[in-house]
Amino acid sequence: MTSHVLGKVVTSAWSDPHPRFSDGEQVLGRRVEAVVRRGKYLLLSLDDGTEMVVHLGMTGVLQVAGPEIVERHLRGRWEFDDGTVLVLHDPRKFGRVTLVRAGEYEDLPTLSELGPEPLEEDFTPEGFGEALGKSRANVKSKLLSQRIVAGVGNIYADEALWAARIHPQASSLGTDEVERLHRAVRDALESGIERRGTTLRDYRTADGTSGENQHSLLCYGRAGEPCSRCGTLLVSSRVAGRGTTHCPACQVLRTRAGGDEVATSEEAPE
């Protein structure tokens, strides 16, 4: 992506009038000076001191267009001075394009409070444990918040918690658990990147390639199947408003002295 747009001038800009995307047409005439990813946000620095922030939501696809543009679900289209065309498709409109002054993210609270990049060196077990300890919310909510570590969504949260053998509703973790989860978050994201993403449903446009990580998931989406570590059937529930899968034998909710966690059957019905 970067090499396709870096240093180029936008000679044509169109965006869906929906407020989540309408900022996209304001970048006409601007030159792209840098392209950076932070968590799930893509930041394009422009030569007038603004920044175009792109989030793909669940179903967004940003790609360099081939000879024909698919109009269905088109949310943004940018043409550059060398003829390159960048398009944004997003069937569900969960994505977002926001134009801000460079580095000023008050309109994007999650971006402004984003945690460290999980694969960078400043994501340490010590810092992770400290950040987790600041709140008594359940650990899955904290992973999904983006504020403790960036870039973890529902799939990777379930995978990491399973790998670390931590119950998604645990609210306080021991040092050993923090270290396992730190490792597991890194491993889950590395695995996903290595396999070029997780493609669960076919929302891609005709020339979009799909990822392969869906074949490597050991927990997410496998409710009712045996745990590959212990053979117990994986269980489905809702945590933090999200579909959640965990192993009731490997990922046990411990009762703590304060009584703020209950180990009884919190597993979902059905």
Closer residue to DNA, CB minimum distance, 92 or 101: 92
Q: Which is nearer to DNA, 8 or 75 (by Cβ)? A: 75
Least distance in Å: CB of 87 to DNA? 16
Using an 8 Å Cβ cutoff, are 244 and 237 in contact?
A: yes
CA angle 14, 7, 194 (to 5 degrees): 85
Residue 6 or 200: the one with the smaller Cβ distance to DNA is 200
Minimum CB separation of residue 252 from DNA in Å reads 20
Closer of 136 and 256 to DNA (Cβ): 136
- Binding residues for DNA (CB under 7 A): 18, 39-41, 55, 57-59, 72-73, 91-94, 96, 108-111, 135-138, 141, 144, 146, 153-155, 201-202, 220, 240-243
Dist. CA 86–CA 84, nearest whole Å:
7
| Axis-axis angle for helices 175-194, 125-133 (nearest 10) | 110
Give least dist CB 80 to DNA, A.
26
CB of 122 to DNA, least distance (A): 20
- Where helices occur in the chain by DSSP H, the ranges are 2-5, 109-112, 125-133, 139-144, 154-163, 175-194
Phi, psi of 65 (to 5 degrees): -75, 145
